[in-house]
Amino acid sequence: HDRMTECLYPHPLTSFDSDAKPEPVSEIPLIEEGRRTLEKINRTMGLAFDEWDLNYYTDLFLDQIGRNPTNVECFDIAQSNSEHCRHWFFKGRLIIDGEEMPDHLIAMIQSTLKANPNNSTIAFKDNSSAIRGYPIRTIVPTTIGSPSPFAFSDRTCDIIFTAETHNFPSGVAPFPGAETGTGGRIRDVQATGRGALVIAGTAAYCVGNLYIPEYDLPWENPKFQYPDNLATPLQIAIEASNGASDYGNKFGEPLIQGYTRSYGMRLPNGERREWIKPIMFSGGIGQMDARHTNKEKPEPQMLVTKIGGPAYRIGMGGGAASSMVQGENEAELDFNAVQRGDAEMEQKLNRVIRACVELGDQNPIVSIHDQGAGGNCNVLKEIVEPAGARIDIRAVPVGDETLSVLEIWGAEYQENNALLIRPEHAHLFDALCKREKVIYAFVGEVTGDGRVVVFDSKDNTTPVDLDLEKVLGDMPQKPFKLDRFPIRTKPLTLPENLTVKKALDRVLRLVSVGSKRFLTNKVDRCVTGLVAQQQCVGPLQLTAADVAVIAQSHFGTTGAATAIGEQPIKGLIDPAAMGRLCVGEMLTNIAWARLSAIEDIKCSGNWMWAAKLPGEGAALYDAARALTDILLELGIAIDGGKDSLSMAAIAPGEDGEETVKTPGTLVISGYVTSPDITQTVTPDLKHPDEGIILYVDLGADKHRLGGSSLAHVYEQLGNESPDVDDPALLKRAIGALQSCIAKNYIASGHDRSDGGLITTLLEMAFAGNCGIQIDLQTRANAISSLFSEELGLVFEVHPKNLMIVREIFEKVPIQTIGKVTSSPDIQISVNNQRVLKIPMPELRDLWEATSFQLERQQTNLSCVAQEETSLHARTGPKFTIPFAPMPTPPAILNASSKPAVAIVREEGSNGDREMTSAFSAAGFEPWDITTSDLLSGTIALGEQFRGVVFVGGFSYADVLDSAKGWAGVIRFNDGLRAQFDDFYNRPDTFSLGVCNGCQLMALLGWVPFPGLANTEQPRFIRNESARFESRFSTVQIQDSPAIMFKNMAGASLGVWVAHGEGRAFFPRADVLDRVIDGNLSPVRYVDDNNTATEAYPFNPNGSPHGIAGLCSLDGRHLAMMPHPERTFLKWQWGYMPANWKRDLQASPWLQIFQNAREWCEGKT
């Protein structure tokens, strides 16, 4: 069990009263005992004060304030002024080899923005950065905060991006560490400007050697030992990704991009480098109403407001603990510093922020900050700076009455934000919070005197009284004396008999190169319905995408693209080259989306480094200098980022303990506006026997192998890293590529990166489920030319476009290197000498092998075996469509009277907005209604509503199993149950339940037919795989009475699936027989031959007969687990055949919503 939040009770409780007494506030005798008393509490409380801090705060209290500090104040300044929170190193005076650098690191990096501000609207001053977006048309409730119909609204929305890491917590407790990393980053997005909207996330995990049981990876050193106070790398890889995935799944944020690395090696200088302290990276892209860009300044009488979860004894001292080398702190203090997550609470909190934002000019939020490191003591000071405030500590909502003042002020309890609100808007804010069932409190007022005073109304004491200017304002720079250390390298020595096939046998099994299926299968990649490109591509949905793309609205095709660049292993040879390669990789990834302009790209730079250990600070500086120079040359800018500069851990070694540094890491996340999200190019080859493969070598035929995957799998580093020797050429190549994409000349494309050119080509073939025939001409040998990780581009063109593409690339070195074949063979020649001929599925099995081994650590073994076996010989889905999908005519969309449909959501639902858009696009008037609205009598399911829709998500976080909490609210409130029964029985009504709504309808007995006892009622239970399943599955529409599937029988269509409990369970066999015989399962999972199946993964949950949904006897009521509302637009599909993309006028799934409208019109 989790000892932070749970304990065993060996005997029944007789009372809920606890004997625990809150620790009183104490005074630190600094005046009486001097600096040594501060040193003592620094150790016992884990404050992470360095010598500079100890001197500064001793002077502050002795000479400037003239009194002893309280323990609360000492804890306060330790958290809010930790390296984690204040970035002393990046703002500090750096003296390298005795010479002071002219600028601090932040000023250096900000010079890129000063040179190229272009479209930037927020940079280096908020929780996220922002760029100018597009005018969009969306739909919002007509009366925010009350049940009301949706209506179209035109507004201009800017694109926002943020990225941060949660490394220390994810090493100590991987699942909660990563889930709260995701949750904290989501709050960074929503706390931008005066409130913003979350759309999608990115994630990355860097861990040490995996040592997967019974799976030998020969480059992993069996002698390495690991500390007891941290999880193992394998545990972190599984559990941290589980935590991040679970949080996003429950909150309703799709995770659509990322990367993974595993590395641990003894370098030529004898130093062990390994991610024992892991990287858990989380990025987020969203948008904000351009009217809300700037936070307003705090003014006297403004209400200091807390909203979200109550305070618990959770996450004490995380800011300070995150600023230490892992192992320097007491293990118990480390454990106490890790937070715990509650995605359902954050989802409710998000609802309130969304409501405020959608009020437009009436948005009551003056300013907003997320609560993270330091808890209240950091966020409340930040939001009232420089004006100051008076805070009543007893006004803070608590979930545990035994909390001390120190804990209430300092705990990093999650799902909480701080806001400033004007007194005249208090009533409006109260109404919004009550509707969404969110706790809030006005905990104080802005004073204007520049002080933060925390008083305790319980005993009239003042635990905190600090001048903001002295503890948060323009504090003195810290000096850092650094030295450059020469980097010892050795030339790469590969086995003499090394063949391409032998090299691939290792390289394709490296987790950074191979399939990431073990990550993508368990995380929602479709929620919001705004995802235009996620990680998986092609008919088999392999994890090969370079760029993630989101739409701004369901009613337009403008949006944004984001991509990642990172090359930490090259940095062990040449930190400056690494800095340049990060930018190069980001560009060669993001360039496959249609971009507004290269100069519009902005970047978040995240630095993970052991910067204060010998040699590392100077190496970081060199990487930052190189990064700055290449960005200036390319005309691109950094507009934000974070740093984590204690990336080392103390581990057991052969001769006692050793400090193991991670590879210094820079992650560049580029983001940019896209004028047309439908023009994204994916890596899957599309024209067997026609496609021509072109190659742009951006490495000038140099083929340096230092820091490559090939070197890694032979336990070496090498001595010469790839680099970006010609940034101007890189920019010309990206510009040419963009010209071709704008004219739809490129059929498929991929960058050269980890694993080299051969991996690029293989992934394109794997994803396209086809073969290739390659003949590469080069000055290098086969191994170097195929496995070097210099920058490069590879793309497929149709023969009719070849000449014009070559003309566009006339100033860029480009060569034709092969063709796409329908034969499943991989044939590669270098300089006219064949070096490889092998069936494509055999190599794809290798590429998938490590991922499937990781799947075995987290999934039902039978399911893993089924998927691994079936993937080898898959032919791909055979979509069929017996009707012609058409958009809804404008006359219907613009009609003054439309059938009304109640889009009903519950606490924890997250699929309502895409459902609303789907019904709106079919000509309905959708209404925003919560179960609480119906329960309170604010509105009823009366004659005005023709349909009721129960949406997807995690109602009540599915803590009682899926939808049981929601069903309980309806079934155990007599008036509400009667209202739903009346609606169900009206002959002119219909209902739809999707995912969580499907589970609800089964528990209500709305499908398949009435009259069954609770114990006999079919319901949906845990997936056969025993985990959440995210798939783009194929389903077939059956003959049935379902009104929403009228005239669609026989269609086999791709559709998003995202659920953990989707397996149809029939307690009585005769009920299942009646469902099958009566055609009451209108949608079934099918395999590549369009045969209903129970085989995994075609059937993602193990439902009998492939059942994906149920309908009522008269067909008016439909419950289905797949998500048609996330596939009702063509660009939402995970994969759509090229001819369908070209020829279809609408997505086939729009038809089910149109059928419902036509049925309503026929019943009028």
The set of catalytic residues is 995, 1123, 1125
CA–CA distance, 813 with 824 (Å, rounded to integer): 29
Question: 262's torsion region: left (phi>0), alpha (psi -120 to 50) or beta?
Answer: beta
Q: How far is CA 370 from CA 183, 362, 468, 884, in A?
A: 10, 21, 19, 48
Q: What single letter denotes the amino acid at residue 133?
A: G
Question: Where does 739-887 show beta strands of DSSP type E?
Answer: 748-751, 771-776, 792-797, 814-821, 825-830, 833-839
Angle at 523 between CA 517 and CA 527, to 5 degrees: 130
Residue with tokens 């409780």: 13
DSSP-assigned beta bridge partners for residue 153: 138
Q: What single letter denotes the amino acid at residue 915?
A: M
DSSP-assigned beta bridge partners for residue 286: 160, 198
Phi, psi of 347 (to 5 degrees): -65, -40
- Given a contact cutoff of 8 angstroms between Cβ atoms, the answer to whether 1121 and 998 are in contact is yes
Closest CA to 717 of 297, 264, 176, 200: 264
Q: Coil, strand, or helix at residue 542?
A: strand
Question: 366's torsion region: left (phi>0), alpha (psi -120 to 50) or beta?
Answer: alpha
Under 8 Å CB-to-CB from 39, ≥6 apart: which residues? 54
Residue 841 burial (CB count, 10 A)? 17
Give residue 709's Cα distance to chain centre. Answer: 26
Going by the DSSP 8-state scheme, the letter that residue 719 receives in this structure is S
Closest CA to 559 of 355, 797, 256, 794: 256
Closest CA to 750 of 968, 542, 993: 542
- Given a contact cutoff of 8 angstroms between Cβ atoms, the answer to whether 129 and 119 are in contact is no
- Given a contact cutoff of 8 angstroms between Cβ atoms, the answer to whether 494 and 502 are in contact is no
Q: What single letter denotes the amino acid at residue 743?
A: K
Q: How far is CA 6 from CA 1, 3, 225, 313, in A?
A: 6, 5, 31, 12
CA–CA distance, 157 with 121 (Å, rounded to integer): 11
Helices 35-45, 71-80: inter-axial angle, 10-degree rounding: 70
Phi, psi of 362 (to 5 degrees): -95, 10
Under 8 Å CB-to-CB from 1124, ≥6 apart: which residues? 918, 994, 1055, 1149, 1152, 1153
CA–CA distance, 1035 with 1098 (Å, rounded to integer): 9
CA–CA distance, 813 with 807 (Å, rounded to integer): 11
Q: Coil, strand, or helix at residue 784?
A: helix
Question: 437's torsion region: left (phi>0), alpha (psi -120 to 50) or beta?
Answer: left
Under 8 Å CB-to-CB from 197, ≥6 apart: which residues? 157, 189, 190, 286, 287, 288, 354, 357
Q: How far is CA 1125 from CA 993, 1028, 1128, 1136, in A?
A: 11, 19, 5, 16
- Given a contact cutoff of 8 angstroms between Cβ atoms, the answer to whether 1092 and 1076 are in contact is no
- Given a contact cutoff of 8 angstroms between Cβ atoms, the answer to whether 1157 and 1046 are in contact is no
